[in-house]
């Protein structure tokens, strides 16, 4: 990234005014970062283009120029910086009084800038030193912080004060143009009022270049217009050209004299000797072009940087010459370029459906050339349709799989419910021994209400006979059953005590509670799973509906295109009844009179001859 150094607001040397004439409108603004290169329009004749190329070839053959180019390329590479955020504001800080950025600690620079600008640690800034140009580039996203840094006048480092000049550079998207011969009587406000108005919609700012008659214009768009309105006058605009920095104090390229890090040393800008005398003589030689003149002299045309956009245009032109077939454009004898005819939907459908039967082309119309772009789009649509159908099939399979899983879970739940019902029905009979004791004593049944069973389960050994006796019936009233006979034949067993019954009841209660909790957990999980599957079913159904709708639209469009294709290739009168075909206008001959039958006229036979009657429809 190369940094803009033209906006210091100081008196500039006259060499910065040489942003040469309109023939240099290919050059671009080098005052913004590398991302700010923009494209500028300019029409150039082929003869002029060949002439410029011949001049460049002649220059490239000079060994001095090649050496100068190597030096310039090294300086430009060394001047490039790290890429900063494109949306941030960039502030250029130019130190003076011999501050050497290369030998100064970066932490000291950060502390000095924050202290002088009053920037807290919470405010985010990025400081990028440029040792080649001996400047600092500060990037920040906050406008308030940028305003503070732009007001810095002095930097104190290691107890020494250095005067500085800070300014905000133009945004990366800006393009710079220049106009000349603007009177010095115009102030900054008058310049802005005369230029930044509705007649120049893309112009955002105007500023005089030092104390010269040249004014720099900032544009938002990616092109610099050829003309600009200055009040009521149209003035031609040239593209601003960045020069290669040259220091007259040390005779080196890359920085300017105002930021020279060693002002106590004076060097000859021609030969580089230290502290030359007034009578010192040497042979001048330009470090940029290698010709016999001082470096970066006004007559040197190589001191301007080659814009990146010019390189891009040269690359594109070279690629176009080397690979002309990639353009995909056919040239006509008239000099104009015409691309292939775009393939329509009807042509695509006819081509796809006409593998076995092809419809004849229209008379007088050439055969349509296939459009590769449209064919590629049609192929992509077919692939997408195929993918949608596959996705629909996968969704249906997943739906069926989910239904089977839900049925399995429902079946498992029903089995659990059935087992729990059986276990709950057998608990009272296992807990109580009264019915079995009654059968052993020859009683018929010892069934009572729920209260009787509860008393028998909870009572002790003394209470059990009384409860049984209260339920006892006479042998004459009850007929003995087979079960009672079988129980009567079994040997008598001792009845369990009250403590044993309580322990059995507690065990049964714990088992019942545990089973109920398991059942509730299973039921909750089943409900959650059902809700999740329902949501998935809804999403799948929505996707299926969208896919079906799209398929219907494609089928409907294909049918319409086929119908249009058939109508397009059918001859006049095809498909009509014979009676209507016979009524097609023809030339009638009646006796000595020849009349042309036109649409809307019919012959009517009546009276003494044929009479023509006009009939309106």
Confidence of residue 275 (pLDDT cuts 50, 70, 90): confident
Q: What is the pLDDT of residue 523?
A: 83
| pLDDT tens track for 448-469 | 444 444 444 444 444 433 444 4
CB atoms within 10 A of CB 265: 12
Mean pLDDT of the chain: 67
Residue 2 is encoded by which pair of tokens?
Answer: 């190369």
Delineate the domains of the chain, giving CATH numbers in brackets: 376-429+498-562 (1.10.287), 434-495 (no CATH)
Q: What does the pLDDT read at residue 78?
A: 62
CA–CA separation, 134 and 78 (whole Å): 11
Residue 150 has a CB neighbour count (10 Å cut-off) of 16
In 286-420, the DSSP E strands lie at 330-331, 337-338
User: For the segment 221-236, what is each residue's pLDDT rounded down to a tens digit?
Assistant: 777 889 999 999 999 9
Nearest to 178 by CA among 197, 195, 166: 195
Phi/psi for 554 (5° steps) reads -65, -45
CB atoms closer than 10 angstroms to residue 7: 16
Cβ–Cβ under 8 Å, residues 353 and 564: no
Which of 128-132, 274-278, 327-331 shows the lowest mean pLDDT across its residues?
327-331
> Whole-angstrom Cα distance, residue 176 to residue 172?
11
**pLDDT tier at 555 (50, 70, 90 boundaries)?**
confident
- Phi, psi angle pair for 197, to nearest 5°: -150, -175
- 476-533 per-position pLDDT tens digit: 444 545 454 554 455 555 555 677 778 888 888 888 888 888 888 888 888 888 888 8
The candidate with the shortest Cα–Cα distance to 18, out of 188, 212, 218, is 212
Compute how many other C-beta atoms are within 10 angstroms of the C-beta atom of residue 97. 14
> Cβ(27)–Cβ(310) under 8 Å?
yes
pTM given for the model? 0.40
Q: Supply the DSSP symbol for 200.
A: S
**For 351-375, how does the pLDDT look when each residue is reduced to its tens digit (9 = 90+)?**
544 444 444 444 444 444 445 667 7
């Amino acid at each position: 990234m190369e940094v803009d150094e033209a906006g210091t607001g100081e008196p500039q040397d006259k060499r910065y005014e040489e942003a040469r004439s309109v023939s240099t409108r290919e050059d671009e603004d080098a005052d913004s970062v590398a991302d700010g290169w923009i494209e500028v329009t300019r029409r150039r004749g082929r003869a002029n283009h060949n002439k410029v190329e011949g001049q460049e070839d002649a220059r490239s053959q000079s060994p001095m120029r090649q050496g100068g180019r190597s030096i310039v390329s090294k300086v430009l590479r060394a001047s490039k910086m790290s890429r900063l955020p494109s949306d941030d504001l960039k502030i250029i800080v130019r130190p003076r009084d011999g501050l050497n950025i290369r030998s100064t600690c970066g932490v000291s620079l950060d502390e000095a800038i924050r202290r002088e600008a009053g920037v807290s640690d919470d405010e985010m800034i990025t400081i990028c030193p440029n040792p080649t140009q001996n400047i600092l580039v500060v990037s920040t996203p906050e406008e308030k912080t940028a305003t503070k840094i732009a007001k810095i006048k002095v930097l104190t480092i290691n107890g020494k004060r250095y005067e500085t000049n800070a300014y905000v550079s133009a945004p990366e998207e800006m393009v710079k143009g220049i106009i000349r011969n603007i009177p010095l009587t115009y102030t900054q406000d008058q310049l802005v009022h005369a230029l930044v108005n509705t007649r120049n919609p893309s112009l955002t700012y105007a500023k005089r270049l030092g104390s010269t008659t040249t004014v720099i214009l900032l544009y938002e768009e990616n092109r610099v217009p050829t003309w600009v309105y200055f009040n009521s006058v149209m003035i031609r605009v040239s593209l601003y050209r960045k020069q290669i920095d040259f220091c007259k104090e040390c005779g080196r390229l890359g920085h300017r004299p105002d930021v020279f890090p060693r002002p106590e040393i004076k060097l000859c800008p021609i030969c580089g000797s230290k502290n030359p005398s007034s009578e010192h003589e040497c042979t001048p030689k330009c470090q940029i072009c290698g010709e016999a003149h001082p470096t970066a002299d006004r007559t040197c045309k190589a001191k301007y940087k080659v814009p990146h956009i010019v390189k891009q245009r040269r690359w594109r032109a070279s690629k176009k010459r080397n690979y002309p077939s990639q353009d995909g454009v056919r040239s006509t004898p008239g000099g104009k370029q015409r691309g292939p005819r775009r393939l329509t939907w009807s042509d695509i459908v006819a081509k796809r459906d006409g593998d076995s039967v092809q419809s004849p082309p229209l008379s007088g119309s050439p055969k349509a050339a296939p459009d590769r772009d449209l064919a590629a789009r049609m192929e992509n649509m077919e692939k997408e349709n195929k993918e949608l159908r596959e996705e629909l099939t996968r969704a249906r399979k997943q739906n069926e799989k989910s239904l089977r899983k839900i049925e399995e879970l429902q079946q498992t739940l029903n089995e659990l419910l059935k087992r729990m019902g059986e276990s709950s029905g057998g608990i009272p009979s296992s807990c109580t021994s009264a019915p079995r004791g009654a059968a052993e004593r020859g009683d018929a049944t010892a069934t009572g209400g729920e209260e009787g069973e509860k008393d028998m389960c909870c009572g002790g050994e003394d209470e059990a006979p009384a409860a049984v006796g209260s339920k006892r019936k006479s042998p004459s009233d009850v007929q003995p059953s087979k079960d009672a006979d079988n129980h009567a034949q079994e040997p008598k067993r001792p009845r369990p005590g009250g403590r044993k019954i309580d322990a059995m009841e507690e065990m049964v209660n714990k088992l019942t509670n545990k089973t109920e909790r398991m059942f509730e957990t299973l039921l909750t999980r089943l409900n959650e799973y059902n809700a999740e599957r329902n949501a998935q079913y809804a999403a799948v159904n929505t996707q299926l509906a969208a896919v079906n709708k799209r398929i219907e639209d494609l089928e409907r469009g294909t049918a319409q295109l086929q119908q249009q294709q058939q109508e397009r290739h059918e001859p006049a009168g095809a498909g009509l009844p014979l009676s209507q075909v016979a009524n097609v206008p023809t030339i009638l001959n009646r006796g000595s009179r020849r009349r042309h039958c036109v649409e809307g006229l019919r012959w009517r036979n009546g009276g003494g001859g044929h009479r023509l009657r006009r009939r309106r429809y």
